[in-house]
Structure 1
Amino acid sequence: MSAFADDGRHRVAVLVRDGVLPFELAIVHRIFGQARAPGGAALYEVVTCAPVPGPIHTDADFTIAVTHGPEALAEADTVVVPGSEADHDPADGPLEPPLAAALANIRPGTRIASICTGSFVLAAAGLLAGRRATTHWRSSARNRERFPDVEFDLDVLYTDDDGVLTSAGAAAGIDLCLHIVRTDHGAAVANEVARGTVVPPHRDGGQAQYVNQPVPDPRTTSTRRAREWALENLHRPVTLRELAARESTSTRTFTRRFRDEIGTSPGRWLVRQRVERACALLERTDLPVEAVATAAGFGTAGSMRLHLQSVLGVSPSAYRATFRGRSAGS
């Protein structure tokens, strides 16, 4: 019997192991489970499977009953591997036979993703060889030592290397799943899922901002007023001096506070906000590309084209062709 309904929805299989982190498992069900087409139809079906179905111990004080086995992986369009407490002290040898056999069920061309230390499974299976990936910063030294053929980047919250994706710490799994929804169905759908989950649709910076850093005092380090002002003025040039003036501080101090709080530079943050504004306009309006570029603050269509290509890997016209109909409900 098939693990999935035959209704045309994108099929996501979550492969869990003993010691699974319930939070990471829940992320997949929550994010994909909320994604809806303009008419309200669910866009994804998510099932949980295990190398051997039955009771699966979590890293908490309860177990979960998993009824689907590895056959679900053979039917999936996307496979997600959450982390497990076993990943904190992984064996140096090959994957355990049941897990290796389960992964062998995945069809060629299936999108594969890991959350947090689930990257150990992907790397040990050879799926990350020669690819850019990330994982939790606490596991970085171990990963680099054991898998020298993987390019681990700890300055990002997630990576997407031609359909093989990895996320940093557990909560970065939210960013990764929203990225997948955004890739599949556009910013409008992903933003609606983010609103329903009460999380940002896109977090800037990497996990370095969370490593051994004291909690900033919002009375002295918040750059909120400057960011709010910038978002209201994206259609015009915004300078670092203007941003710093909104917080009554020098540009050097503002830049340092901004990076500590947001995890990236003011300039990179501004580009990302302009890209998101442009995507929303490309999806939801029939404005010419030149008008979208002006409204998003890029100035010229050529400048916007370069930035969209850099951030999203597509041109404005290609993005609109892919997502305009879906956002409009046609």
Structure 2
Amino acid sequence: MTAARHADVLVVGGGQAGLAAGFYLRRAGLDFAILDAATAPGGAWQEYWDTLRLFSPATFSSLPGRPMPHQRGEEYPDAPHVAAYLTDYEKRYELGVRRSVRVGAVESEGEGLVARTDDGDWTSRALIMATGSWNRPFIPAVPGLAEFTGRQLHTHGYRGAAKFVGQRVVVVGGGNSGAQIAADLVPHATVRWVTQRPPRYLPDEIDGRALFDLATRRVQGDGGGPGSLGDIVAVAPVRVARDAGLLIAHPMFRHLTAEGPAWEDGSTWDCDAVIWCTGFRPDLAALAPLGLRQPGGRVPMEGTRAVEDERIHLLGYGDWTGPASATLIGVGRTARTAVQEIKLRLV
């Protein structure tokens, strides 16, 4: 049997949150290793559709220590540009991410932890979960899901409009992903955009810079946060489609039939595909052996630290683990705080 490898701090996940953690761990002089299940660098950004846009200019979308370069001809960078930036960041800071390593379970072993992976065990004194939520897409339990005979996919599986040219497509979801995917499709397909409530666009001048400030103020108890202004950032493609009258939101349907959705008033709409832009859930299954989750599914937190186990920190899961921590600009601050706490405990 292969002997377990060891790092004082183990980081699970090599996307933007894991890289930010690695930056501060190296700066702190701590012994660490980063494990990532993906085969290539770039985090989830390497899997997004190419026309996806950041909500902020490159200058305001950077990880600690390394400004994101501007993308020529674009104020708001696209997904391939971000993936290339993360790839360069990982190389520049020599973070040594170990790839194609999937962590199946994290267990307590005396005063330390052991991570069971498909490439052998790792022991550590502290662990940072930075797996994000991309690999846990959520689709609501709408009646008739199994009856619909057309194609169904989630945001997670959307790669662009090419496969939907000339088709009738329902896009479900009133957030940024739903608006951006609907806007991406309308020049190529007949789209019916379905939302739980009328879409709420933020003022056109609002982007990720303001949202980060609002999120921070909300956590500090000063203000209502980004949701008080709206749900959708009007990036250029969304604004163009909206102003052209092509983004018309319809109320949520009651159920699916074999041919398509049916509404409370008896109306139906036959379609070829349904795209569920209905969000994600934190990818924390590996922590199950530690028994940290409450019945509702969340791990009680103090900042980034698990209340029930000070060895465990969660990084990059949204405001739950730090203001705007699921964003490029926001994750750096929470990564720095997490590493500071870990260092105080270990040294």
The alignment's TM-score, normalised by the length of structure 2, stands at 0.28
Q: Greater helix share, 1 or 2?
A: 1
Larger RCO: Structure 1 or Structure 2 (Cα < 8 Å, ≥ 6 residues apart)?
A: 2
Report the TM-score, using the length of structure 1 for normalisation: 0.29
Bigger proportion of residues as strand: 2
